[in-house]
Amino acid sequence: MEIPPGDGRTWQNISAPVKEVTGVHPIWLYFTGPEGLLIKLDWFG
């Protein structure tokens, strides 16, 4: 993840249920905050 330095934002913990997956397909989770901040998490299961 790339975060612009010194933008005044703070990190928040994100918790969400995730189904167990197998294989090499990537999972993409998108979270949008009240100010339109987009956090993209991706990993391979």
Q: What is the bridge-based pairing of β-strands 26-32 and 38-44?
A: antiparallel
pTM, full prediction: 0.18
> For each of the chain's 45 residues, which pLDDT tens digit applies?
565 566 565 555 555 555 665 555 555 555 555 665 655 665 554
Please check whether residue 21 is in contact with residue 45, taking contact to mean a CB–CB distance below 8 angstroms: yes
| Rounded Cα distance, 44 and 28, in Å | 9
CA neighbor of 1 nearest in space, from 45, 41, 34: 41
